[in-house]
A and B are shown apart, each in its own frame.
Chain A
Amino acid sequence: MTVLQVEGLAKSFGGVAAVQGVSFAVEAGHLLALIGPNGAGKTTCFNMLNGQLAPDRGSVRLDGREIVGLKPRQIWRLGVGRTFQITATFGSMTVRENVQVALISHHRRTLGLWPRARDLYRAEAEALLARVGMADQAERAAAVLAYGDLKRLELAVALANTPRLLLMDEPTAGMAPRERVELMALVAGIVRVEGIAVLFTEHDMDVVFAHADRIIVLNRGELIADGVPAQVRADPRVQQVYLGGGTTFGHG
């Protein structure tokens, strides 16, 4: 079943065409990798999908419903979770509180004046943290976490509203190679069980080829390839971009 359907998405910044007419779709229970060199337009794509940037042209449909023009917080309520390339967490709160705030918002209790936030949805928050391997860090301040742990926390937060679609911008950046593969294996597990659709970007080709069901390749804002890993790996244009750019493929 198609969860996300993107057509003709485009965005320019001044003279720079960051994304030009990109179309693709993500199925429930599948992982779609969006790869491309630095500055290819991957983050810009993400920002348009979750409503942070208004596209110049194109349409984004979630379960058939057009979501262009909606605000990020509205899109989140429709079941889109997101992790950021540069992590965005609540530094003055503990790891658990970070997740609790997401749960409070999910249950629409943000205007609550009486209960203590730290007592609300505690078990749920801990279950989410356990899932991403952060249970033992629940009491630590988010501000002091290592980068890889921040990425895990972001994932827990993104899962808090049982999303239909997960957007992950470089979810394993800053992790050791083994951690990366483990984290993506974990995501893949959750995704298959719950039927979530995932779109992720990643510079580590080991991770990409190990877990992506399909791969799309962006270069200078244009989609140059779309297919299963073996097809993409064999695509001469893709090889050109990556070899030309000095980046080599890992072996999947």
Chain B
Amino acid sequence: MTLATFVIQLLNGLAGASSLFLVAAGLSLIFGVTRIVNFAHGSFFMVGIYIAYTLTESFGRGSALGFWASVLAAAVAVGALGFVVEILLLRRIYKAPELFQLLATFGLVLVIKDATLAIWGPEDLLGPRAPGLRGAVSILGRPFPEYDLVLIAIGPLVLGLLWLVLNRTRFGVLVRAATQDRDMVAALGVNQAWLFTGVFALGAALAGLGGALQVPREPAQLFLDITVISDAFVVVVVGGLGSIPGAFLAALLIGEIKALCIGLGDVSFGGFEISFSKLTLVVEFIVMAIVLVVRPWGLLGRPGGEPRHAAATEPPLRPLHGYLKLAAAGLGAALLVLPVATDGYVLVLLIDIFVFALFAVSLHFLMGPGGMVSFGHAAYFGLGAYGAALLVLRAGLPMETTIVLGPLVALAGGLLFGWFVVRLSGVYLAMLTLAFAQIVWSVAFQWDSFTGGSNGLIGLWPPAWLASKSAFYHVTLILCVVAIVALRHLVFAPFGAVLRAGRDSPLRADAIGIDVRRHQWFAFALIGGFAGLAGVLHAFSKGSISPETLAIARSVDGLVMVLLGGVQTLTGPVVGAAVLTWLQDEIARRVEFWRAILGGVIILLVIAFPQGIVGFIRGRFMREVT
């Protein structure tokens, strides 16, 4: 790399950092004041770019004034959207446990995505370039877009403006006070509701601005919501939750490192070929993992600044009552004889339900008794699936052995990643699991020669004796039921009890001789194995796997299943998995805008049943039973 390309890459990094900073600053601001982790923040960015596309197409082609007015108008429109969302939705759930808030904002992601699809259609839309800034300047003899120079200036400009607002206005004083101590603001007699609305609208507007500014640089696309939110999460966590200068610093750091990776391309070190361009997909997650391990509260964050665990203490767990056990056994028996009576399609759906029930139960074990919320549980599902597939296809092992070896691969992954993960807690822990999942995903996605890259692996058929759908159905049913029963048993075993103890009060657990981290680490690995088993069964039921198997969407599905069913119950995740799998399958086949419906259902469920479906039933009808 010559000096000139190096400098150009640095400038590219700065330009990329600006938009990232705007989105992350909004996210951080909202988190700091409302303590809500807003999953829909990427959606605000996406809506910003779409609205800006429409406006600039009409008003921004000819005049610079029209262009910039369009960009600002898009930001204001998104701010208004945030305003409405806060009043209609978030207001109702500030008191709900933080995970339900997350779930609700995820429902919002789905609704906004389909609304965008309905309004703008599925094609990528590239807006006009900014009038007056269409050319390039020459830097060290290389062309550099004029527009990007303006972007570079906008980042610090917005940082400065935010600083002024936060330090020189009454609104800013309140925002800072609320970020430091929410109760204090309530005590000061400030109208909290409007402060929260204002902050949420401002944060949304910043995300919208970040999107709108990208109009000349990248097309408006429907997947931007998820990619942007994961980037923004990374920036916020690296910078320190609630710290705006931290977000700025982190955005610069990550923007630069990404740009350098692109610039470096493929480099060979003494015979080793290192592809830095391939690293760009994961490099931010690697940075986050390192920062979190070295400075768990982020670069400029404060220790202890993370949200409290707002979930109410759950009632003592009790083993299933006699007649519920009987009912469960009856259901199992009915499922066993079912293939006689139904066709292939129902069996396929049920196999999916069994697999995801196991996936959800394993995630629940981590989240509930383990007290560790994982945003990257799909990694272990995928490690199991890929492990088994690779052992069959590359090592020629029979499928039967991979039912044991596949989960062991996932367990090994859990052992490795878990060692880092258990050093953190709360949102930071969740983010680190996400980082590791993204790293695994990107390896599966990019290692064409081994994992099949984006196409994945095909031709994973079970041996002859399992070839019929009903035989595979039976094996899946039995394995999943055994695994779920084993996990349930584990919750009540000394190991499970000690984990619950460590979750309830790490202080007390430590004071009675329990090494909480060590137990959490073992649990993390063990649960990886269980999720891996679900992954193995999934791979063989489909006959193929792709990186989708371990993508973020799958991790989110798992969270939705657990929360839908109720995190404080043991039967909840099974119900949640069945409901979500069935809904996804059923609505997706019949309705065009199924995501919006699913999102709407999730939002309604969160508002109506903050304890989840099973939690609700239990609270309502069977106080003393489950």
Question: Chain A: residues with CB nearer than 8 A to chain B?
Answer: 50, 52, 71-73, 76-77, 82, 84, 88-94, 97, 100-102, 104-106, 109-118, 120, 141, 143, 157, 160-161
Contacts and interface: CB of A to CB of B under 8 A. Distances in A.
Interface in B333-371: none
Contacts of B507: 52, 84, 88
B313 A91 contact: yes
Interface in B439-492: 490, 492
B137 interface: no
B626 to A, nearest CB: 14
A143 B314 CA distance: 9
Interface string B495-514: 11110110111011111111
A99 B498 CA distance: 12
B316 interface: yes
Given A91-B504, A97-B316, A112 B511 contact: no
Contacts of B316: 92-94, 97, 141
Given A101-B498, A160-B512, 20 more contacts: A71-B510, A73-B513, A88-B507, A88-B508, A88-B511, A89-B504, A90-B501, A90-B508, A91-B505, A93-B504, A100-B497, A105-B498, A106-B512, A110-B494, A110-B498, A110-B519, A112-B494, A113-B493, A113-B494, A161-B513
Nearest to B526: A113
B396 interface: no
Nearest to A90: B504
A120 B494 contact: yes
A117 B512 contact: no
B492 A116 contact: yes
Lowest 5 CB-CB distances: which A-B pairs, in order?
A112-B494, A117-B497, A88-B508, A91-B313, A90-B504
Contacts of A112: 493-495
B375 to A, nearest CB: 23
Given A76-B511, A110-B519, A104 B505 contact: no
B570 to A, nearest CB: 13
B505 A88 contact: yes
Contacts of A94: 316
B315 interface: yes
Given A76-B511, A143-B313, A161-B513, A89 B505 contact: yes
B68 interface: no
A121 B115 CA distance: 59
Interface string B219-263: 000000000000000000000000000000000000000000000
B494 A92 contact: no
23 contacts: A52-B507, A73-B512, A84-B507, A88-B505, A88-B507, A88-B511, A90-B504, A91-B313, A91-B505, A92-B317, A93-B497, A97-B316, A104-B494, A105-B514, A109-B494, A110-B498, A115-B494, A116-B492, A116-B493, A117-B496, A120-B494, A160-B512, A161-B512
Contacts of B515: 73
A114 B519 CA distance: 16
Given A88-B507, A89-B505, A97-B316, A76 B493 contact: no
Contact of A115 (B319, B493, B498): B493
Given A73-B514, A76-B512, A101-B512, A92 B313 contact: yes
B519 to A, nearest CB: 7
B313 A117 contact: no
> At the interface, is chain B mostly helix, strand, loop or mixed?
helix
B492 A141 contact: no
Contacts of B616: none
A118 B510 CA distance: 20
Interface of B: 313-317, 319, 490, 492-498, 500-501, 503-505, 507-515, 519, 522
B513 A76 contact: yes
A100 B500 CA distance: 13
A72 to B, nearest CB: 5
Given A111-B494, A112-B493, A114-B493, A93 B501 contact: yes
Contacts of A106: 512-513
A111 B522 contact: yes
Contacts of A161: 512-513
A50 B497 CA distance: 24
Contacts of A157: 508, 512
B504 to A, nearest CB: 4
Contacts of B490: 113
A154 to B, nearest CB: 8
Given A90-B504, A104-B497, A110-B519, A118 B492 contact: yes
A77 B508 CA distance: 14
A101 B500 CA distance: 10
Contacts of A120: 494
Contacts of A102: 512
Contacts of B494: 104, 109-113, 115, 117, 120
B504 A82 contact: no
A109 B513 CA distance: 11
A32 B373 CA distance: 44
Contacts of B508: 84, 88-90, 157
A100 B519 CA distance: 17
Contacts of A116: 319, 492-493
A101 B369 CA distance: 14
A165 to B, nearest CB: 13
Nearest to B317: A92
- Greatest chain A CB density within 10 A among B494, B497, B507 is at B494
